[in-house]
Amino acid sequence: MGAMASAGARATASAAQGSHNAQDVSFAQGMIPHHRQAVAMAGLAPSRANSQQVKDLAAKIKQAQDPEINTMSGWLKGWGENVPDAGMSGMESMPGMDHSSMSGMNHSSMAGMMSDDDMDKLKDLSGTPSTRRSCR
């Protein structure tokens, strides 16, 4: 954990020294929820997946995504910008986007994101393919 904290501190320091624009902020604020959801999904694999390949890939995803979340959070902090809250889904955590035209849409309508409903269904899945319920 010390390495991650150290990486986050370096990211904050270097972000404060560099220049950034609105697109940089939007990228980091949009990617953090995507990465957090990937980590949450990967966290389900050890207790639910039968395939060792899936379990190994899930572990690699978690190892890759956590440091990237820390890096992007460090950039945002260094730039004096908001870091999306951990409990927020992708849509709420993207400031500057006009969500008024998106009323009634679920979070999965944003590319790469599952809805809270779909995540809840995924958490409830277990068993072999023949006994497993579908997410949809």
pLDDT tens digits along 42-92: 999 998 888 999 999 999 999 999 999 999 999 999 999 999 988 654 434
- Give the model's pLDDT for residue 65: 94
Considering the chain, what is the average pLDDT of its residues? 74
The answer to whether the predicted template modeling score (pTM) of the entire model surpasses 0.75 is no
**For the packed helices 52-78 and 2-17, what is the interaxial angle rounded to 10 degrees?**
40
Dist. CA 89–CA 10, nearest whole Å: 27
Dist. CA 1–CA 70, nearest whole Å: 11
Predicted confidence band at 118 (pLDDT cuts at 50, 70, 90)? confident
Predicted confidence band at 7 (pLDDT cuts at 50, 70, 90)? low
